[in-house]
Amino acid sequence: MRQSVHWALLIGWAASILVALLLHGQRQLSDFDPDGALLYASTSPQFDSNITSLLKAQNVKAGSVVHIGSESDCYCDALATAHRTQLLSKLKAQQYQFSSINIESVPALQQILSAVPALMVVDEHYQLRYIGPYATGFGCFTGKDLVDTVVAYTQQTPYQGAVVNADAQGCFCS
Strand, helix or coil for residue 121: strand
- String of DSSP letters for 109-126: HHHH--SBSEEEEE-TT-
What's this model's pTM, rounded to 2 decimal places?
0.80
- Pairing mode of beta strands 97-102, 118-122: unpaired
- Pairing mode of beta strands 30-31, 169-170: antiparallel
- Predicted local confidence at residue 63, as pLDDT: 93
- Predicted local confidence at residue 140, as pLDDT: 54
Q: Which of residues 84 and 19 earns the better pLDDT score?
A: 84
Per residue in 55-64, pLDDT (tens digit) is: 999 999 999 9
| pLDDT band at 19; cut points 50, 70, 90 | low
Q: What are phi and psi of 149, to 5 degrees?
A: -65, -45
C-alpha atoms less than 13 angstroms from C-alpha of 105 in its C-beta half-sphere: 13
Q: Which of 131, 154, 126, 116 is nearest to 59 (CA)?
A: 126
Among 32-36, 81-85, 119-123, whose mean pLDDT is lowest?
81-85
Interatomic CA distance for residues 2 and 87, integer angstroms:
57
